[in-house]
Amino acid sequence: MKLLLILLFSITLYASPRVIALSPSINEIIFALGKGDTLVANTEFSNYPEEAKLLPKVGGYFSVDLERVVALKPDMVMLQAYDMSVVNSLEKLKINYMLLKTNSMNDIVQTIEKIADFYEEKEKSQEILTVIHSSLKSIENIISNKKILMVISATTNFSKPIYVVGHDVYLEDVILRSNNQNAYNVAYLAQPTINLETIIKLNPDIIVLLAPYLSESKITKETLLNKWKTIPINASKKNNIYVIDKEYAGIPSQRVRYFIDDFKKVLDDARNK
């Protein structure tokens, strides 16, 4: 009987935690740490790596199905502060949760470290962070003091609001780390939208069009570029308009290093012109 109790205690002690990831970024970080097998659910947009697509879904960014969450009996729910009502509900339900941030580059680093601490995977997290820091170092001073405008979900329809990268976000951190400027210089912290007239006024030296879902639309990369090259700004005159159409461009996970590497290619090309 004593031996049986010891065995049961050991199984409980070393059993993998049941974790739900409520954002694609958190989902990807968990898989990168080699702990994807602990996930019992994620969200609709968590589609990387391939195994993530097979997990049960418990909603999206702003539509978490709490009944499904409860039914899955998680030991931990990891989430970002998209909807604080979800946090309040988890507290009422007495479900353990970890609130994480991925707004800035520093947030991404800290989130990787926090998730790694939960799983006791510090060595693996250091490997991931070393690569990210190396990528950031590689973009320094390729060119400098250029005004760079990053456009989110780039479109060819200039009559609609155009979403651009504002301040205190990891995409701006990448621009600044390269020793260049965010062309969007308005002191406004919320997600900014601008129009064609404002783009002309800002007159960026380089434009980076982030179009992660371009392959799902009817617009080709060439069509997108040609449309933006008609704008009378420095970026057009110097042929410094670029498209990054990889899905990871909009996901602040460990895959940010791939975006940084893509951005380095943009800087290299602009320097060589």
Please determine whether the domains at 2-100 and 140-271 fall in the same fold group of CATH.
Answer: yes
User: 140-271: which CATH topology?
Assistant: Rossmann fold (3.40.50)
Domain covering 2-100 in this structure, CATH number = 3.40.50.1980
Reported pTM: 0.91
In whole angstroms, give the CA distance from residue 173 to residue 133.
13
- Tell me what pLDDT residue 9 has: 44
Per the rule left: phi > 0, alpha: psi between -120 and 50, beta: everything else, 172 is: alpha
Digitized pLDDT (tens) for each residue of the chain, 273 residues in all: 555 444 444 444 457 899 999 999 999 999 999 999 999 999 999 999 999 999 999 998 789 999 999 999 999 999 998 888 999 999 999 999 999 999 999 999 999 999 999 999 999 999 999 999 999 999 999 999 999 999 998 899 999 999 999 999 999 999 999 999 999 998 876 679 999 999 999 999 999 999 988 878 888 999 999 999 999 999 999 999 999 999 999 899 999 999 999 999 999 999 998
Q: What secondary structure letter does DSSP report for 212?
A: T
- Tell me what pLDDT residue 230 has: 97
* Element containing residue 216 per DSSP (H, E): none
In whole angstroms, give the CA distance from residue 270 to residue 273.
6
* Element containing residue 41 per DSSP (H, E): strand 39-41
In whole angstroms, give the CA distance from residue 196 to residue 189.
20
Radius of gyration of the chain from Cα atoms?
Answer: 21
- Tell me what pLDDT residue 60 has: 86
- Tell me what pLDDT residue 261 has: 98
Coil vs helix vs strand at 108? helix
Question: Is the bond leading into 49 cis (omega within 30 degrees of zero)?
Answer: yes
CB atoms closer than 10 angstroms to residue 121: 19
In the chain, domain spans? 2-100, 140-271
- Tell me what pLDDT residue 187 has: 84
In whole angstroms, give the CA distance from residue 195 to residue 162.
6
In whole angstroms, give the CA distance from residue 250 to residue 174.
13
CB burial of residue 91 (10 Å; 0-12, 13-18, 19+): exposed
In whole angstroms, give the CA distance from residue 57 to residue 65.
9
Phi, psi of 76 (to 5 degrees): -155, 135
- Tell me what pLDDT residue 73 has: 97
Structure tokens at 87: 């946090």
In whole angstroms, give the CA distance from residue 267 to residue 206.
9
First to last CA, the chain: 78
Beta bridge partners of 42: 57
